[in-house]
Amino acid sequence: KLYRHRIFLEQLGKALVTPLIQRRSRMPRALAAIALIQNVQTEGDSASLSVATGLCKKSARCNYCPSSNDNKTNITCVKCRKYLCKCHMSIFSPTCAKKI
């Protein structure tokens, strides 16, 4: 019974959010949000939504925060694959951005 209720809630949530995502006029800044919107707009009502290419399944500490902060993240730099937290998040890591 709990499994069916969870599935129902997931389907309800997706059904409520999908029209709003499709009507969005401007692209957001977060990589995950961009990928989510592009998938919904191209596929319509599909069951699976993928995440941005800068995301990894494995999470680790941010390479630029001190270890005492213990900021865990699954966002990586596109070039050097270093882990970045929300504070340091951009398309490239701070060191790769300086090289460009």
**Residue 53 confidence (pLDDT):** 40
16-70 residue pLDDT tens:
988 887 777 566 667 777 777 777 766 554 333 333 345 667 788 888 888 888 8
What pLDDT band is residue 91 in, cutting at 50, 70 and 90?
A: low
**Residue 92 confidence (pLDDT):** 67
**Residue 64 confidence (pLDDT):** 86
Whether 79 and 93 have beta carbons less than 8 Å apart is answered as yes
Does some domain include residue 50? no
Does some domain include residue 82? yes
Domain that holds residue 27: 2-43
Does some domain include residue 89? yes
What pLDDT band is residue 3 in, cutting at 50, 70 and 90?
A: confident
Mean pLDDT along residues 73-89: 80
**Residue 46 confidence (pLDDT):** 38
**Does residue 59 share a domain with residue 36?**
no
Burial annotation 34-63 (CB, 10 A radius, 16+ → b, else e) = ebbbebbeeeeeeeeeebeebeeeeeeebb
Total domains in the chain come to: 2
Does some domain include residue 27? yes
